[in-house]
A and B are shown apart, each in its own frame.
Chain A
Amino acid sequence: MNDQPVVRLTGVDKVFGRADAPKTTALEGIDLDIRRGEFVSLIGPSGCGKSTLLRIIGDLTSPTRGDVVVNGKPAERARRDRDYGMVFQAPVLFDWRTVEDNVKLPLEIQGAGGARREQRAKEMLELVELGDFLKHYPYQLSGGMQQRVAIARALAFEPAILLMDEPFGALDEMTRERMNSEVLRIWERTGTTVVFVTHSIPEAVFLSSRVVVMSARPGRITKVIDVDLPRPRSDDTRETRRYFELVTEVREALRRHGGTGDDDDELSLASPDRTMAEGAVG
């Protein structure tokens, strides 16, 4: 049972555009298995379809061709069974609800009882260290805190898979690193399978058990890199030789298949410790 992948993608294509307009192939021939409890990052230049791939897994859009099997059933069924927790780049909190009521939202929709809602919301907010902010409104929180509320909300109903679409893309580098450590801590405690879209190389390496490198136009998987850094990982992990080697490996994989120079530039901007890493390796 445990050997069965949580997510199995076979031959997934995604073509945008209607019959009368020029078509864009966003994804081509995607095959990917994600095992239970894995932390998988999708990384690639913008326009490589990594967000589209995430949305296909979550049944927020459907593939043009190919199969998506989640927990042994079609993605749509998995969504109806509420197997997914979503975290977007923006927190997307409901500003008319308090922090606590935001976390309760999915539980309300799923018809959980009042006592359980109360308890789960409290637990989840304590997990993301916002236990003192139950009664606050979203506008009273900083961007990082809002994103933590979004994570608590996604975890509230214990989804089988957590789908995160550049959740920390809008945060500054220091906050992002702190959030990365926090996500790892939560992942280690909950054992949830995570699919994580990012275009930060250090973030992908630090978090993942596997990094899936994608190329643009059409979006393809060019390389899958196993991240064998020991766990639990901490800030010290970011200073180990193996970490730098892996960062370099991901970067080179991206550059080899990266497509245009523009995309390369964007990626290097997203990884400020590039010079450090290269210095250490070279």
Chain B
Amino acid sequence: MSEEQPRSVEVHIPSELGYEKIAMEAAAAAAKRMGFSPDRIADLKTAVAEACINSIEHGNKLDATTKVVVVLTVEPARLQVNVADEGLEPFPSEPVEPGHPPDNRGWGMFLIRQLMDEVEFSTESERGNQVRMVIYLDKQ
């Protein structure tokens, strides 16, 4: 199968803690197929899990009737992961640094920023919270 055209995989998980592990394993499978190193796959798994946990806990307020949607877009040189929830509460704007303990959400956002090559957090009135994360094959 040619990898020239982007391929997308969409995973829907209920807003219940623990289901983030399904999203992280799906992301890991895509990254492994693309040839990412085990270290980068471990980074990706943590980032995807943290984005999903933020969506489950803070976006969707642990309401199991709501969904978190994870879209993996496989491109020749990079993997993009979008995590979206139904919440409208904006992301905290203050960056977190070691030595200044944040709440769990803060640690999650901190880790995502540290581990991924590109990260964007956004909140839109009709689309809820979105996290866009990218890792590149040439930044192993």
**A and B together in one complex:** no
Which chain B residues have a beta carbon within 8 Å of chain A's beta carbons? Answer: none
Q: A residues within 8 Å of B by Cβ?
A: none
